[in-house]
Amino acid sequence: MKHLLRLIFLAVSSGLTGCASLYFPPPPHAPMLTHQGEFYGTVSTNQHTNYALQGAYGLTNHLAVAGTFSSLHRKKSDKTENIDFGEASLGYFTRLPDKRVLEVYVGGGGGATERIERNEAQITSRTLDGSLSKVFGQVNYAQKKRNNLHLFNRDFPLTYGVAMRLSYMQLNNFKIDGMAAPGESNVFFEPITFTRTQIAGPVQLQLISGQIFGFRSNKYLKAANSVFQVGIVINLDKNTTLNE
């Protein structure tokens, strides 16, 4: 029990730290497919100007493929960050009674990361760069809410759910000012909640919020960024979906 409590404390303390990380998590995908031929696509962003494009397709009535591309390019007075990351996964989905959906995905991804640090005189003091790799497993669960969102004399159907992802990340080919440096690895747990409201036809507004917890205390590859995204979802071929 003592070791379990220590592990939980390490995960929480690592996740809440405000120090910069060389990894910025893309939002876990939650297509919530229900049948063959259904397509899910979304574009989202957050307050850090981190953009994410995601898509998924039902190959059969239970088998799906999904992909994500995430990009973060921002410049502040003390640093510039450039992170591009892509993911691909294979999943199983099934529709449960009472308009519930369960999905399980396994996949991997990779990308590049760079951080340029500057001193008070706005002169570059250090450059860190490397490549990122990841393998992950994820479980999604969603259900349509009974009560709709009532605005402007209209009812907007609501869907809400959760996604839980466990990832193993590696920082490879790591360099500091062009000199090789030891890489790092970490295990991340990313629980999120999402809410969608149907705007018109296949178009929905989506809000994702959550946290990322790291199980290792690293200097560069750590859980330093929360998950918060606002986006637009397009779900095509919705013959038998959650919103029916």
AA identity, residue 26: P
| Cβ neighbours around 141 below 10 Å, total | 15
Q: How far apart are CA 198 and CA 8, in angstroms?
A: 37
CA angle 217, 219, 220 (to 5 degrees): 115
In which residue ranges of the chain is pLDDT below 70? 1-19, 144-156, 238-244
DSSP structure string for the chain? -HHHHHHHHHHHHHHH--S--S--PPPPP-----STT-EEEEEEE-TT-EEEEEEEEESSSSEEEEEEEEEEEEE-SSEEEEEEEEEEEEEEEEEETTTEEEEEEEEEEEEEEEEEEE-TTS-EEEEEEEEEEEEEEEEEEEEE-SSPEEETTEEE-EEEEEEEEEEEEEEEEEEETTEE---EEEEEEEEEEEEEEEEETTEEEEEEEE--EESS--SSSS----EEEEEEEEEE--SS-TT-
Cβ atoms 82, 75 nearer than 8 A: no
What is residue 7's predicted lDDT score, i.e. its pLDDT? 36
| Cβ neighbours around 21 below 10 Å, total | 24
What is residue 14's predicted lDDT score, i.e. its pLDDT? 37
Q: Which CATH class is domain 2-236?
A: mainly beta
What is residue 241's predicted lDDT score, i.e. its pLDDT? 46
What is residue 144's predicted lDDT score, i.e. its pLDDT? 67
Q: How far apart are CA 234 and CA 223, in angstroms?
A: 30
Q: HSE-up of 134 (CA within 13 Å, CB side)?
A: 31
What is residue 151's predicted lDDT score, i.e. its pLDDT? 60
What is residue 65's predicted lDDT score, i.e. its pLDDT? 98
Cβ atoms 129, 178 nearer than 8 A: no
pTM, full prediction: 0.84
Q: How far apart are CA 9 and CA 3, in angstroms?
A: 10
pLDDT tens digits for 119-133?
A: 877 777 899 999 999
Please state the domain extents for the chain. 2-236
